[in-house]
Amino acid sequence: MQKVDVQLGQRSYPICIDTDFNDLNAELVQSKQVVIVSNPVVAGLYLTQIKKLFSKSRLEIILIPDGEAYKTLESFELIQSFLLQHQFSREVLLVALGGGVIGDLTGFVAATYQRGVRFLQIPTTLLAQVDSSVGGKTAINHVLGKNMIGAFKQPVQVLINTQVLSTLPEREFAAGMAEVIKYGLIADQDFFTWLEQNQHKIKQKDDASLAYMIKHCCQMKADIVSRDETEQGERALLNLGHTFGHAIEAYLGYGSWLHGEAVATGLVMAAKLSLSRGWLQQQEVDRIIKLLIAFNLPTLAPKGMTISDFLPYIKLDKKVLNDRMRFVLPSRFGVSKLVDDVTEQELFQVFTDGLG
């Protein structure tokens, strides 16, 4: 078992990375009330194993249909109503068993049910393991924007079993790699190079390579979250590629493209914006595109989507401050920064010849 600690004082918690589910904190095993939130696909694979962890608990299950289209206010209300109807108290432990949709949704319920209850993250997708399960961002989607309604709520533990990736569809695994690649571009050129050199082992789901990769990403995010829990500055760097990516998701309708697929194209768009400013060289942009393509990720925006289609969503982005659009851009290869001087004119100039 490998462990990463998220240092947040009284809200600190461990991320445990192993090849099974056996590292659950003893305190959580003793929980009197447990509600597991999952979807039918994941539940069919892993629910029996997770239920055994809570053999001494009063246990209930809630299944939400699979997909980003169900990360909604309706699903949020369904879970809240279930908890109220079954008279769960503030002692309840909510368990998020699934990918980012289940984790975000369950976490938002945990942040608000009776003004806050404990929740455990058991992420079953690569994207959730390296990103969304760590750091306490919880949210639901709105037709006008992704993750615009939510709260910061830290889990009590993140339990990562790398073996679940063997049952993950290849498209879902690839989507997670977009977030992995993002970490190299934010602040770790050596990690980006490692990904280039080890891409074949990663695709083969080599246990040692996956464990190293996941731990490295979790450690990077844990360090940033420990310094900036509520995204007042540095944590915004984790949104590299997301301003463009969220616009793609909202424009197409949630679920048409996977989150990681949209982020992949967003990374290329951010890189090309940096290229136009002289911060990146063409060969560096080409390296980014080549690695994304190696994992079967898109590098072009959806056909027919213009920069005019992006702008309404960009202007609703959570990073907008004092009516100024803000973007995370690579300032040089392997280093990114938050900028607030990108104009609409610059966006049109950079992307007039095609997006991505």
What pLDDT score was predicted for residue 8? 96
Identify the three-state secondary structure at position 31.
coil
239 is catalytic: yes
Record the pTM.
Answer: 0.92
pLDDT of residue 26: 94
Reduced to 3 states (helix: H, G, I; strand: E, B; else coil), residue 301 is coil
Candidates 68, 172, 229, 231; catalytic one: 231
CA torsion angle 297 300 302 306 (round to 10)? 160
DSSP class of 302: P
> Which amino acid is it at 146?
K
- Catalytic choice (153, 182, 221, 272): 221
Catalytic residue among 239, 249, 272, 326: 239
Q: For this structure, is 137 an active site residue? A: yes
- Rounded to whole angstroms, the Cα distance separating 220 from 198 reads 19
| Catalytic-role residue among 172, 179, 229, 261 | 179
118 is catalytic: no
The pLDDT value recorded for residue 106 is 98
Instruction: Based on the residue annotation, tell me whether 259 is a catalytic residue of this protein.
Output: yes
pLDDT score recorded for residue 356: 64
3-state secondary structure of 95: strand
How high is the pLDDT of residue 341? 93
Predicted local distance difference test score (pLDDT) of residue 354: 66
Choosing from 153, 182, 259, 326, the catalytic residue is 259
What's the per-residue H, E or C state across 7-58? CCHHHCEEEEEECCCCCCCHHHHCCCEEEEEECHHHHHHHHHHHHHHCCCCE
**Alpha-carbon distances of 106 from 60, 78, 354, rounded to whole Å:** 14, 11, 38
pLDDT at 259: 93
Take residue 279 and report the two structure tokens written for it. Answer: 């911060």
Instruction: Judge whether 221 counts as a catalytic residue.
Output: yes
CB 72 within 8 A of CB 47: no
pLDDT tens string 286-329: 999 999 999 999 999 999 999 999 999 998 887 877 778 999 99
* Marked catalytic residue, from 71, 146, 246, 318: 246
Q: 116, 110 in Cβ contact below 8 A?
A: yes
What's the CA gap between 259 and 127, in Å, rounded?
Answer: 9
**Nearest in space to 85 (alpha carbons), one of 93, 77, 96:** 77
Contact (CB, 8 A) for 136 and 152: yes
List domains and CATH numbers for the chain: 2-167 (3.40.50.1970), 170-351 (1.20.1090.10)
Determine the Cα–Cα distance for residues 342 and 173; give it in Å rounded to an integer.
Answer: 33
Q: Verify whether residue 332 is a known catalytic residue.
A: no
231 in catalytic set: yes
The model's pLDDT over 171-191, given as tens digits with 9 standing for 90+, comes to 999 999 999 999 999 999 999
According to the model, what pLDDT value does residue 110 have? Answer: 98
Can you tell me which residue has the tokens 């908890």?
Answer: 83
Regions of the chain short of the pLDDT cut 70:
353-354, 356
Confirm if 254 and 69 have CB atoms less than 8 A apart. Answer: yes
Which positions ≥6 away from 39 have C-beta within 8 Å?
A: 63, 64, 65, 66, 67, 98, 101, 102
